[in-house]
Structure 1
Amino acid sequence: MKLYNLKNHSEQVNFETAIKLGLGQQQGLFFPVKIPIITPFELSEILKMDFITRSTEILSKFIDREISKQILYEQVKKAFSFKKPLKVPITKHISCFELFHGPTLAFKDFGARFMAQMIFSLNKNNESFTILTATSGDTGAAVAHAFYKMKNIRVIILYPKGKISLLQEQLFCTLGENITTISINGSFDDCQNLVKQAFDDKKLKELIGLNSANSINISRLLAQICYYFEAFSLISEQERKNLVIAVPCGNFGNLTAGLLAKSLGLPIKSFIACTNSNDTVPRFLKNKQWKPKKTISTISNAMDISQPNNWPRIEELFQRNNWNLNNLRFGSVSDNDTKNSIKELFKLGYTSEPHAAIAYKLLSDQLQENEYGLFLGTAHPAKFKNTVEQILKNSITLPDEINCRVNLPLLSHNINPDFCKLKNFLLNK
């Protein structure tokens, strides 16, 4: 598999190198030189497979000969060793596609665990790595648990202090061992900028073997393609004809994966890019001006991102496929409307958290006659227990995955968004 740097097309690397580097020169994202095509006949055969076999088949089309299909199957099986996604009907024409049945109760488990397996299996010389990543909530837990106690791998996770839910924090800031967490006195964008600065420091990268587990890493992105095929396999032939998928968007990795699935040959009619009040992309799609504003804290904190990293990949996909960006549906939802959407879903018999509720709101508003809609359930409502309980005046039982960590002490460090301080921490811890 060959990948090129979106900021410097002459920098081309294989899959293993792209995973290890994370980012290319000038903080450029890696992108496949060639996107494989799945024919309608192949698609019909692939959709008959079980989730692990199908995922292996899809990933092998990208990775090609770098990893044998047999070894890849074993790695996929280890990575996706939890309950597969569920389709839950909400109305006659809308269902929630639940992606939160992994060990950290969020869709991020798919990408993080696959990346961990790839790095571990490709590290034939037992090199030492430092995984540095930023999280707006769910990525941190998924990455921490995926790499927990892995030999020769140190994980450093940055998150905005006071801007993720307490239960999200408990999931990954209580592990210790090879997992170090740092709360940053700022926004997620501040955390993300610190990660980018670290990758720009060539000497630091070499000294600590720096890598990232954000959705900027191509392995995470490829893993997420797999569950879009699973979603398609779970709906009827009639529903497949006019399928619209509403995606809660923060760093836009999830939507990028869906668009890659469409590029492969999965006939999804349309996507809706769903954001909260941090609406850089919806405003750009409306007026064609890229003007990020200061990040606003909302109840859908995993989407509190004003400068989404993966947007250049989406633009590249539209350009290469000769798609029109005007055909990408979009919208943003305020906190008040998010709360009303949670209440509406509850009346329909479904308990949702804020991110999925935003996707449901935009899907129900934009779904046309004869279309069938899926909105992605990206996190378990229990991760936002206090918020959801206040809105619904109804209690939520904590799953075992969270309940077992509730009373453990937080092990986080705290610093200001100062790269010199972060660099000193990375070199001396």
Structure 2
Amino acid sequence: MQFLSTRGGAPPASVGDAMRAGLAPDGGLYVPARFPAAGYDAVPRDAELATVAERVLAPFFAADPLAETLGDVCAEALDFPTPLTEAGDFHVLELFHGPTAAFKDVGARFLAACLARLAGEHERTVLVATSGDTGGAVAAAFNGRPGFRVVLLYPKGRVSDRQEAQLTAWGDNVLSLRVDGDFDDCQRMVKEAFGDAELRERACLTSANSISIGRLLPQMAYYAWAATRVFHATGKTPGFIIPSGNLGNSLACIWARHCGLPVGPIVLATNANETVGDFFAGGSWAPRPTVQTLATAMDVGNPSNMERLLHLAGSEAAARREARAVRVSDVEIRDAIAAGPKRYGRTWCPHTATAVRAWETLGHEALERPWVVVATAHPAKFEDVVEPLVGETVPLPPALAELMARPRNFVEIGPEFAGFAELLGESSRPDHDRVPLA
């Protein structure tokens, strides 16, 4: 299959070439030329996630060298559980059982496994902006892999302490940059780096943000897996409620539905960052500055994947028919976390809490079909918010506890591209050893 740029000014690319490039040469995002009709029967009733991923993704990899090893990639990357459990009247898709306790492990590990099989003679620089969980997942996925170095940017003071520990626990082939700005500054600098042809070529840049097609495709798999399980069990097409920031996770669900998989209504749970909520309420697409909230990983004022959604739909009106948004305030996030143990027997992270609160607003619609709340991160990553509200300590998963014990390594930079480009260019020189870490 070929992949096209959302902006129409770049030649078609194979899936492997699109992964290597990250961003299309014209600055657009790669999208599939078509969505193959996987249908309900594409997913065996009791198959494991890795098997489902291989079945659903095979058409996207057709005629690419990666097709021969797709099964191995899926088995290597998706080797941790993604339980589908019940909490009262809704299902919970738990995506936080990977090495860094967040759903980003799925896409990051898949992308790393693919790129490792496409590695060339030159070291590639994996460039990633993160609002919290992406950077840690990417660092973990690429850490120690020959032929790759990771440069990740995260906003100072806008991630939780434990998230920052994950982002800075590496050293080795990972350079962590703490940016004195917000996530949109980080994302802007990444896009500017890809737009600088000389820098992009010299540093052999590739992306691990959700602008990378290699991140989005595997996320379709867990929607296919969960949707078909619920459909086979109930005979009804489930709706999904998804905590939404940069819209990559939500878009993967929309793409799964376009493949004919049994995905019903899609609700985007958003926070006080009103860009997405205002758009789905009928306003024109109008990015705006980021607002800091309790759900920090969703603090995005200019979600990059809206470009893919608009390309898919063809117009703003049609894009609004793909999903709807429910806005959740910090007060409601706190209430949902505090009520979780007693009402549902669960402790939610702030992001999952937005989705739970969105489900609670559905009224009678909540009973008309099964609903799946997407749990995107382990609550222990946000102990400063969660533990005072639930009145108890949230145990750390063992893998997360090991990362917390490591020393922190980072370089602090400003939000100006010139300084970042100089640092990135210096660190990509053949005689460069490593940037001194603070």
| TM-score tier (shorter) | over 0.9
Match of 1:189 in 2: 184
* d(CA) in 2 for partners of 1:236, 1:204: 48
Give matches, 1:137-152, under 5 Å. 137-152=132-147
Match of 2:355 in 1: 359
Is this contact kept in 1: 2:16–2:66, CA < 8 A?
A: no
Deviation, 1:23, is 0.6
The alignment status of 1:342 with 2:340, answered yes or no, reads no
Which residue among 89, 98, 102 is the counterpart of 1:102?
98
Is this contact kept in 1: 2:227–2:237, CA < 8 A?
A: no
Give matches, 1:15-54, under 5 Å. 15-40=15-40, 42-43=41-42, 46-54=44-52
Is this contact kept in 2: 1:85–1:98, CA < 8 A?
A: yes
The alignment status of 1:274 with 2:272, answered yes or no, reads no
Higher deviation after alignment, 393-402 or 61-70: 61-70
* d(CA) in 1 for partners of 2:27, 2:392: 45
Alignment TM-score, normalising by the size of structure 2: 0.93
Deviation, 1:9, is 4.9
- CA gap of 1:242–1:72, structure 2 versus 1, over 3 A, is closer
- CA gap of 1:364–1:175, structure 2 versus 1, over 3 A, is same
Match of 1:412 in 2: 410
3-state DSSP of counterpart to 1:230: helix
Match of 2:84 in 1: 87
**Residue type of the alignment partner of 2:53:** S
* d(CA) in 1 for partners of 2:182, 2:66: 41
* d(CA) in 1 for partners of 2:268, 2:421: 35
* d(CA) in 1 for partners of 2:410, 2:352: 28
* d(CA) in 2 for partners of 1:236, 1:22: 34
3-state DSSP of counterpart to 2:399: helix
Deviation, 1:223, is 0.7
Tell me the matched-pair count. Answer: 423
Is this contact kept in 1: 2:5–2:12, CA < 8 A?
A: yes
Deviation, 1:8, is 2.0
Deviation, 1:65, is 2.2
**Residue type of the alignment partner of 2:282:** N
- CA gap of 1:86–1:421, structure 2 versus 1, over 3 A, is same
Is this contact kept in 2: 1:7–1:25, CA < 8 A?
A: no
What RMSD, in angstroms, separates the aligned Cα atoms of the two structures?
1.7
* d(CA) in 2 for partners of 1:11, 1:407: 47
3-state DSSP of counterpart to 2:56: helix
Alignment TM-score, normalising by the size of structure 1: 0.95
Provide structure 2 residue ranges, at least 5 long, that are not aligned to the other structure: 428-438
Which residue among 411, 420, 426 is the counterpart of 1:422?
420
- CA gap of 1:327–1:116, structure 2 versus 1, over 3 A, is closer
Deviation, 1:240, is 4.8
3-state DSSP of counterpart to 1:182: strand
3-state DSSP of counterpart to 1:404: helix
Higher deviation after alignment, 128-137 or 367-376: 367-376
**Residue type of the alignment partner of 1:378:** T
The alignment status of 1:14 with 2:14, answered yes or no, reads yes
Is this contact kept in 2: 1:145–1:172, CA < 8 A?
A: no
* d(CA) in 2 for partners of 1:68, 1:180: 28
* d(CA) in 1 for partners of 2:67, 2:348: 38
3-state DSSP of counterpart to 2:245: coil
Deviation, 1:289, is 1.7
Give matches, 1:1-400, under 5 Å. 1-40=1-40, 42-43=41-42, 46-67=44-65, 69-82=67-80, 84-91=81-88, 93-123=89-119, 125-235=120-230, 237=232, 239-319=234-314, 325-326=320-321, 328-347=323-342, 348-366=344-362, 368=365, 369-400=367-398
Is this contact kept in 1: 2:228–2:262, CA < 8 A?
A: no
